[in-house]
A and B are shown apart, each in its own frame.
Chain A
Amino acid sequence: MAEKRRSGTTSGMSEVKPTKSDGDREFLTQTGVGELIRGALLKMVEAKSEDPIGFLADHFCNLASVSDAGTAGCGDGDQLNDCAGAQEQQQHLNRALWHLRLAHHSQRCAFSNNVQVAYDLLSHTGPRRFQSGISEGSEGSCNSGRTGGGVRGSLYTQTLQCLCSEGGVPASTSAPLLRRLHCQDHEAVPYDLFRHGVLTCAVFSDYIRQAQKLYAEVCCPAEKPASRALCLAVLGTLQEALETSRGCDASHCANANTKVNSCLETNLKASRYLEASAKISPYKLAQAMAGARTGGPGGNMDAKEFENAAAELFITRVRVVS
């Protein structure tokens, strides 16, 4: 793609100044523009962001700040290293978060790739002298990724916190989730756990946003809080749906080692998910809400309580990281 566009440029130029196009081509090769654009295009096509120009602007700005930081920090003493180390860590965190934002978690392939990149970024953060001591080893692990030193617990927790708050989840709501997922500050987090944590937080953010929208729908007359009975009915259907899909997970775990049944499992899984989504269908929800109108506890439930209750339904299903 870069070649196609590049040749388009140079052929355009060659109509006017034939001798200049060779010089241009050489210039582009020398400065590495082709590679740069190829990389940018690949990333952009993978992400298929709603705003391709904004995406490219962010992408190049990121790259530029990295190369600036790289040239700035070399050859410092130990004391300066710690300061630079902290800044560098923050930069790595920002970049990792940027990568994680690129693709929605439903785009499994792209999302997994981005998690991998973010993991690699974060697992090579640390004071420069420590890194330089094991530089050969870390270069080797760069390629394999998963056998690297792992992400430090504190950085991992920070990443999850940022993901939740960027996803629009207030800190109080995400706190119980993070308690289940977090690791000790000094621990090294392996890739699988990192991925699990990131995915859980991404899904959780979506879930909370949906719950907020759901609440907004339920309490249609805008200012008043919604009736408790209605909210409980809605939460009830949510819970039922989650239970149904959970049943599928349990059976899946039990058969984890049986390869023969894997096809059967996939079908079972699919049907469970369909069942679960049927439970949360508009019709079911309307039924539950109509039922709630006739009876049930009185009083109101405000947005915060609803959100916390919905969050709890989700969080109880998250396995605790030990």
Chain B
Amino acid sequence: MTAKINRFNLTLPVDEYLETGVLFYLNDAVTQLLEHKEEYTQFGVVRYFAEYFSSVKNSNHVLFREYNYIKATPHNRASFIRVFWRCYRQIGKSGDLLSMLEYTSLLQLLCPDFPVDLVQNTARIILMDDAIDCLMSFSDFVYAFQLQFYYQEFLVSVQAIYQDLLSGKSPNTVIVPTSTSIEQLPPVTTEENESQEQEGRVDPSTLAEYIDCLCDRFKYSHPPRSCLREVLEQSDKVSYYSFLMSLAKHDTINSGIGALPNKSELLVDPEMDQELDKLISQISVSPGSNSSGSAVGALKEVPRKASPRRNIHHRRKMEVESDGSTEETDSSEN
């Protein structure tokens, strides 16, 4: 939800209260109901709404929905990131490195029309815009993806500012009268800046000030200003992708979004580990016996199951089972 509601703004006017995203979900609930009348009225409309809103509350509502829906609210975006992590964290455990296209496929299993360019942008963050065909670890990918997807509008604006600074123009974000007017901002092009710009870097403090102005009037979500400033204070010069990578790895920004755990806990998945151990022990029993045969048979039957939800669950298991597809690569983990 965009606005924060608490007991102290009980006097919030009704319109503003409703704008916190609830109307969007009500609208979608009714639209979905109309599109799937027979299926969703099976147990009555009350139960349908109960399940719809329960799933929104539990962040289970974004699975297999179209891209426009999952990007529509911050809550939806965070939920999708979380779903992606939960579905595929075993990849991280197995240590597989995947390509940008492979990650795209994984995303499109969860959201059929998920755009490739978003994944490309994610790859650019990790690989510093260099050879984006290289393979990436799950851990790097998921945090960069989170930043790219959750704050996509913000990143577009920051990139525009950055490009303007790089080419010596004054970024035109400073239009509204704020305390920092155009005249007061430091001149964009100085000797020092020129040499930095040749390397594709800008002065962090200049960038920080322009980003600050952007945040003043920005209507989409953006990372907390303190975090932005903190990152920019860390170095004398900053390139766009190194800046983004630092943001992606920032713990406070991560916990602010609330979708993913810290890096140390990213690959922890005790329930799945248990399930897999059980499966593996079944399979490692002698191949001639019935029990293992049935276990293997069950795995083999998997791709033929009709329901898309089942496919995800079993594909996940199969990916871990297979051991031949890991490619040797010399791309270092960033």
Interface positions of A (Cβ within 8 A of B):
1, 5-6, 8-9, 12-13, 24, 27-28, 31-33, 36-37, 40-41, 44-45, 48-54, 56-57, 60-61, 63-64, 67, 104, 107
The one of A31, A49, A54 in contact with B41, judged by C-beta atoms closer than 8 angstroms, is A31
Partner of A53 from the list B12, B22, B45 (CB cut-off 8 Å) is B22
User: Which residues in A have their C-beta under 8 angstroms from that of B27?
Assistant: 5, 8-9
Q: List 7 A-B contacts (CB under 8 A).
A: A9-B27, A33-B33, A37-B30, A45-B17, A52-B5, A52-B22, A107-B10
Answer whether A104 and B7 are a contact pair too, CB < 8 Å, given A44-B22, A53-B22: yes
Interface membership of chain B positions 33-60, coded 1 if the CB is closer than 8 angstroms to chain A and 0 otherwise: 1100100010011110110111011000
Nearest CB in chain B: distance from A109 CB, A: 11
Return chain A residues, CB-CB under 8 Å to B75.
53
Task: Report the bound CA distance from A6 to B26 in whole Å.
Answer: 9
A31-B30 Cα distance, complex, nearest whole Å: 12
Give the distance in Å from the alpha carbon of A53 to the alpha carbon of B47 in the complex.
15
**B interface residue numbers (CB < 8 A to A):** 1, 5-7, 10, 12, 14, 17-18, 20-23, 25-27, 30-31, 33-34, 37, 41, 44-47, 49-50, 52-54, 56-57, 75
Q: In the bound complex, what is the Cα–Cα distance between A187 and B26 (angstroms)?
A: 44
Q: Which chain A residues border B12 with CB–CB below 8 Å?
A: 48
In the complex, the answer to whether B14 meets A63 with C-beta atoms within 8 Å is no
Whether A60 and B41, one on each chain, are in contact in the complex, defined by CB atoms closer than 8 angstroms, is no
The SS class assigned to the A binding surface is helix
Which residues of the other chain, A, contact B54 by a CB distance below 8 angstroms? 57, 60-61
Q: Choose from A33, A63, A107 the contact partner of B30 (Cβ within 8 Å).
A: A33
Measured CB to CB, the nearest residue on chain A to B50 is A60
Choose among A32, A50, A54 the residue that contacts B45 (Cβ–Cβ < 8 A): A32
Q: CA–CA, A8 to B37, complex, Å?
A: 18
- CB of A36 to closest CB in B, whole Å: 7
In addition to A31-B45, A53-B53, 4 A-B residue pairs with Cβ atoms within 8 Å of each other are: A41-B18, A53-B56, A60-B50, A60-B52
Query: How far, in angstroms, from A105 to B45 measured CA to CA in the complex?
Result: 33
Question: Closest 8 CB pairs between A and B?
Answer: A60-B50, A57-B53, A60-B49, A64-B50, A52-B22, A56-B53, A61-B50, A57-B57
Residues of B within 8 A of A51 (CB): 5, 57
A54/B57 contact (C-beta < 8 A), A36-B49, A45-B18, A48-B10 known: yes
Query: How far apart are the CA atoms of A24 and B50 in the complex, in Å?
Result: 21
Closest B-chain residue to A10, C-beta based?
B34
Contact between chains at B46 and A60 (CB < 8 Å): yes
Check if A53 sits within 8 Å of B10, measured CB to CB: no
Q: Are B53 and A60 neighbours in the complex by a CB distance under 8 Å? A: yes
Q: Chain B's nearest CB lies how many Å from the CB of A66?
A: 9
Residues in B whose Cβ lies below 8 Å from that of A57: 50, 53-54, 56-57
Cβ B30 vs Cβ A9 within 8 A: yes
If A48-B10, A57-B53 touch, does A28 touch B30 (CB 8 Å cutoff)?
Answer: yes
Interface contact A63-B46, CB-CB below 8 Å: yes
CA distance A31 to B40 in the complex (A): 12
**Which residues from B are CB-within-8-Å of A5?**
23, 26-27, 30
CB distance from B38 to the nearest CB of A (A): 11
Min Cβ gap B41→A in Å is 7
Neighbouring B residues of A32 by C-beta, 8 Å: 45
CB neighbours (8 Å) of A45 from chain B are: 14, 17-18
Chain B residue nearest in CB terms to A25 = B34
Q: Which B residues are CB-close (under 8 A) to A27?
A: 34, 37
B188: min CB distance to chain A, Å: 44
Contacting pair B34 A9 (CB below 8 A): yes
Instruction: Report Cα–Cα, A175/B56, bound state, in Å.
Output: 40
Distance between B34 CB and nearest chain A CB, rounded to angstroms: 5
Structural contact, B22 and A56, CB atoms closer than 8 A? yes
- Kindly state the separation between the CA atoms of A40 and B18 in the bound complex, as whole angstroms: 12
CB-nearest residue of chain B to A4: B23
Residues on B with beta carbons closer than 8 Å to the beta carbon of A44: 22
Q: Taking the nearest CB of chain A, how far is it from the CB of B9, in angstroms?
A: 8
**Residues of chain A lying within 8 A (CB to CB) of residue B47:** 60, 64
B46 touches A36 (CB 8 A): yes
Q: Which residues of A contact B53 (CB under 8 A)?
A: 53, 56-57, 60
Per the bound structure, the CA–CA distance linking A28 and B30 in Å amounts to 9
B5 CB to closest chain A CB, in angstroms?
5
Which B residues touch A28, using CB under 8 A?
A: 30, 34
Known: A53-B56, A104-B7. A48 touches B17 (CB 8 A): yes
In the complex, what residues of A have CB within 8 A of residue B33's CB?
A: 33
- In the bound complex, residues from chain A placing their C-beta under 8 Å from that of B23 are 5
Contact B30–A6 (Cβ < 8 Å): yes
Tell me the complex Cα distance, A88–B46, Å.
Answer: 20
Q: Give the distance in Å from the alpha carbon of A36 to the alpha carbon of B44 in the complex.
A: 12
Tell me the smallest distance from the CB of A138 to a CB of chain B, in Å: 24
Chain B residues with Cβ below 8 Å from A9 are: 27, 30-31, 34
**Pick from B5, B22, B41, B44: contact of A50, CB under 8 Å:** B5
A98 to chain B, nearest CB (A): 14
Contacts of A12 in B (CB 8 A): 31
Complex CA distance for A107 and B11, rounded to whole angstroms: 10
- A31, B37: Cα distance in complex, Å: 11
